[in-house]
Amino acid sequence: MLEIKNLSVEIKGKPILDGLNLSVATGEVAALMGPNGSGKSTLSYVIAGKPDYVVTSGEIRLDGENILELEPDARAARGVFLAFQYPIEIPGVATMTFLKASLNAQRRARGEADLTTPDFMRTVRGAAQNLKIDPDMLKRPLNVGFSGGEKKRMEVLQMTLLAPRLAVLDETDSGLDIDALRIVAEGVNALRDPKRSFLVITHYQRLLEYIKPDVVHVMAKGRIVKSGGPELALELERNGYRDYASEAA
């Protein structure tokens, strides 16, 4: 599904990723762990296509296609979804309006017809209920004044509606209390599918108690330094990142 080869990335002249290699198989849930400053969030942004990052070498292939030249919306239409660590507030745009526009934009990009309003409403209400999102919240401007937990649940709601092929979760556990974490994790687990892959980025092992990964990668200094099974996360929990600490940190 996802093949990243020899990826080097700079921002404002500062190298962040340094020849990173990473594969995520179809249907796989991969955890990406690492100390602060190791480049985890940068990797998630580069996969999603955020401007300002300069790719100096390498490629990112989704199902064999190099997506680096694609605009973020074209990547989204091909099934890439990034759950933001800090979801952006969009004043003046009702959440429902945004959800419908983004869902239909992706459908159009794939040559599918727009969802009818009743179908859309039914889908949204069902998904919102599962995530314990108050329907009134959908009338409010997107993410404006939402609590940290509400924002993360809204990210998972978007993921549910957009049904991506590759979901990248950037520190979705940050800022969540244990109840919110459980709701978010259940939402993610409900989407596990043999045709869908996940890259779950986290600093702590805690999230992985709820979202069981198939494989764990450890990132340091802009590259993957170790890969293993779920036991690797437990080892990191015991020993911390001192073995991998970046010099800059």
Partner 1 sequence: MTMHRAIAKTAAETRLAEQFSALRGAAPSLWRDAAFRRFEEAGLPTRRVEAWHYTDLRAALASAAPLAKAPDAAAIEAARRSLASLARAGGTRLVVLDGRFVAALSDAPPAGVAVVPSAPEAPTFSDVDAMLALNVALTLGGCAITIEPGRRAPLIEIVHCFSAGAPEAVYSRLAIALGVGARASFFERFVGTGPGAQRHVSTWISLAPDAKAAHVASIEDGAGLHVESQVANLAERAELDAFGFVCGGGLVRRQVFATLAGEEARIALDGLALIDGRRHADTTLEVVHAAPRGQSRELFKHIVADEGIGVFQGKVIVRPGAQKTDGAMKSQAILLSPHAAMNNKPELEILADDVVCGHGATVGALDPEQVFYLQARGLPRNEAEAMLLEAFGAEAIARVAEPELAEILLSMTRAWLARRAGAAPT
Contacts with partner 1, residue ranges (CB under 8 A):
48-52, 71-73, 75-77, 81-82, 84, 87-88, 90-93, 98, 101-103, 105-106, 109, 141, 158, 162
Phi then psi for 153, rounded to 5 degrees? -65, -35
Strands 29-33 and 53-62: unpaired
**Nearest in space to 69 (alpha carbons), one of 79, 56, 60, 78:** 60
CB of 197 to partner 1, least distance (A): 17
Q: Which CB sits closer to partner 1, 17 or 142?
A: 142
* H or E segment to which residue 117 belongs: helix 117-130
List, in sequence order, every residue forming a beta bridge with 224; answer none if it has no partner.
219
* 123 and 88 Cβ atoms separated by less than 8 Å: no
Shortest distance, position 79 Cβ to partner 1, whole Å: 10
- Shorter beta-carbon distance to partner 1: residue 50 or 192: 50
Read off the DSSP letter of residue 230: T
Output the six-digit token pair for 8.
């080097």
- Tell whether the torsion through CA atoms of 14, 52, 109 and 155 is positive or negative: positive
CB 37 to partner 1: min, Å: 21
Task: Say how many CA atoms lie within 13 Å of 211 toward its Cβ.
Answer: 32
Closer CB to partner 1, 103 or 208, in the complex: 103
Q: Which is nearer to partner 1, 54 or 225 (CB)?
A: 54
Q: Residue 112 or 179: which CB sits closer to partner 1?
A: 112
Question: How many beta carbons lie within 10 A of that of residue 41, not counting itself?
Answer: 18
Closest distance to partner 1 from the beta carbon of 46 (Å): 12
β-bridge partners, 170: 201
> Nearer Cβ to partner 1, position 106 or 205?
106
**Residue 245 Cβ vs partner 1, minimum distance, rounded to whole Å:** 30
CA distances from 185 to 146, 189, 205 (A): 19, 6, 13
CB of 64 to partner 1, least distance (A): 21
- In 3D space, the residue among 81, 114, 82 whose CA is nearest the CA of residue 100 turns out to be 114
Q: Work out how close the CB of 196 gets to partner 1 at its nearest, in angstroms, rounded to a whole number.
A: 17
Residue 170 or 173 with smaller CB distance to partner 1: 170
